[in-house]
A and B are shown apart, each in its own frame.
Chain A
Amino acid sequence: MSDDAEVLQRIRAGATDEFAELVSRHQSRVFAILHHYERDVQRVEDLAQETFLKAWRALEQFDSRAPFEHWISRIAVRTALDHLRREKKHKNEIGLPELGEDALDWLRSDDEKSELDSRSAAEILELAMQELSPADRVVITMQEIEGRSVKEIAAATGVSGIAVRVRAVRARAKLKRALEKLVKT
């Protein structure tokens, strides 16, 4: 199987249908990134399509020496950031998602050994992160959930490493406060 650079070369030579091959190779990664910022599956699909369309439009600017996966991941993160900013503007029109019983029990429990399933954890974080700015949310999600390094976050968001560190500390503190507020309600 040829690598991404070869597929890109064929696309640039006019074989536009080969773009489907690139999409197939990287779609899972793009869906995984976007799912951290949007829980509705249909909307994740729309955002994934937006990501690949942006990539297509900017394909001539892509430097083939860098891995395509990194580039498309950066576009996905920026698409997610735009999406969060749009959502923030219409925040009042969107009802807060309700937490399930398991999530509520875990939040209110003082027992540190109590189990929490992944779905409930994602629900809690989704709700608490609504208190964060879109940029703060992207930084904390990339650092804590995707396990990305400061350097990777800086490259994806286009800010300096120091700015990422400062934002991460601030976002974490804000998130803690938002979670404490959830426990009290």
Chain B
Amino acid sequence: MNEKKLKQLFESARREQPPVPPADFAADVLRAVRQVQPAKLKEQFPNFDQLNSWFPRIALAAAAVIALCVAADYGLTAAGLPELGDGTAQASSQFVFNAENF
């Protein structure tokens, strides 16, 4: 199949007439639309509205995580175990910022 023949094929296909929509097509669509609306139409939120609606729950979850960490830290200190921060400081001094390893 050479390029010229391929072009002829495309040109001929371009001339084909598409089917004509039936006279009652728009009415059929409207009937179908009435079955999905109006709830669907009202459900559509822009992204920011959706984030807004989630905000109180996200904020509450974040506050709960912070409270849990603070409580765990106090709990560990009271029990005489090293605090969470101590472990991190120890790891930093021994491995991460240990100049002797370079």
User: Which residues of A come within 8 Å of B, CB atoms?
Assistant: 16-17, 19-21, 23-24, 27-28, 31-32, 35, 41, 44-45, 48-49, 52-53, 56-61, 112, 116-122, 124-125, 144-145, 147, 175-176, 179-180, 183
Looking at the assembled complex, report how far the CB atom of A47 sits from the nearest CB atom of chain B, in whole angstroms.
Answer: 11
CB distance B27 to A20 under 8 Å? yes
CB distance B34 to A44 under 8 Å? no
Which secondary structure dominates chain B's binding surface?
helix
In addition to A59-B44, A179-B6, 20 A-B residue pairs with Cβ atoms within 8 Å of each other are: A17-B30, A19-B29, A20-B27, A20-B29, A23-B25, A23-B30, A24-B26, A28-B18, A28-B20, A28-B21, A35-B19, A44-B19, A49-B32, A56-B41, A112-B2, A118-B13, A121-B13, A125-B10, A144-B10, A180-B1
Looking at the assembled complex, report how far the CB atom of B13 sits from the nearest CB atom of chain A, in whole angstroms.
Answer: 4
- Which chain B residues lie closer than 8 Å to A122 at the CB level? 12-13, 16
Can you report 25 A-B residue pairs in the complex whose CB atoms are below 8 A from each other? A19-B29, A20-B30, A23-B26, A31-B20, A48-B21, A49-B32, A53-B33, A56-B36, A56-B41, A57-B36, A60-B44, A112-B4, A112-B8, A116-B8, A121-B12, A122-B16, A124-B9, A125-B9, A125-B10, A145-B10, A175-B6, A176-B1, A179-B9, A180-B1, A183-B1
- Which chain A residues lie closer than 8 Å to B34 at the CB level? 16
User: Which residues of B come within 8 Å of A, CB atoms?
Assistant: 1-2, 4-6, 8-22, 25-30, 32-34, 36-38, 40-41, 44, 46
The 9 A-B residue pairs whose C-beta atoms are closest, nearest first, are A121-B12, A60-B44, A118-B16, A32-B18, A23-B26, A121-B13, A118-B15, A35-B18, A179-B1
- Which chain A residues lie closer than 8 Å to B1 at the CB level? 176, 179-180, 183
CB distance B22 to A145 under 8 Å? no
CB distance B14 to A147 under 8 Å? yes
CB distance B26 to A16 under 8 Å? no
B14 and chain A: residue at smallest CB distance: A145
- Which chain B residues lie closer than 8 Å to A45 at the CB level? 19, 21-22, 25
- Which chain A residues lie closer than 8 Å to B26 at the CB level? 20-21, 23-24, 27
A58 and B44 contact, Cβ closer than 8 Å, known pairs A27-B26, A118-B15, A145-B10: yes
Looking at the assembled complex, report how far the CB atom of B48 sits from the nearest CB atom of chain A, in whole angstroms.
Answer: 13
CB distance A112 to B21 under 8 Å? no
